[in-house]
Structure 1
Amino acid sequence: MKQFECGSLVPGCPWHTRAEEEAEVVRRAVEHMRTAHGETVIRETMVDNIKVRITDQAQAA
């Protein structure tokens, strides 16, 4: 299970998501960035920043 916590990228944001596939976590995180943080253009660097912050919950448990 992959997890992304928005607060690791946007300090103070409590939003997080989990999914089996990294691609789904990234998709959800990008949608969150658009709706909650007003990002209209999602650059490749933003996607890279999201990917770097995705954790594997199987390892963390």
Structure 2
Amino acid sequence: MKTFHCGTLVPGCDWHTRSDSEAEIVSRSVDHLRQTHGETIIRESMIEQIKARIQDEQDAA
């Protein structure tokens, strides 16, 4: 299981998600960025930043 915590990208945000699929985590995270943080354009660099912050759940603190 993999996990992503938005607060690692957007300080102060408590939202997180988990899935076996990295693609699913990225999709959910992009939806979250649009709906919660008002991002209208998601650049490739943002996708790469999300991917870089995905952790295996046993590694997550």
Name the TM-score, length of structure 1 as normaliser: 0.94
- 1:2-61 CA distances to partner (integer Å, 9 max, x unpaired)? 100000000000000000100000000000000000000100000000000000114x27
Percent identity of equivalent pairs: 60
SS of aligned partner of 1:12: coil
Name the TM-score, length of structure 2 as normaliser: 0.94
How large is the Cα RMSD of the aligned pairs?
1.1
Shift >4 Å, 4+ stretches: none
Count residues with an aligned counterpart. 60
Partner of 2:56: 56
Tell me how far apart the structure 1 counterparts of residues 57 and 4 of structure 2 sit (CA, whole Å). 10
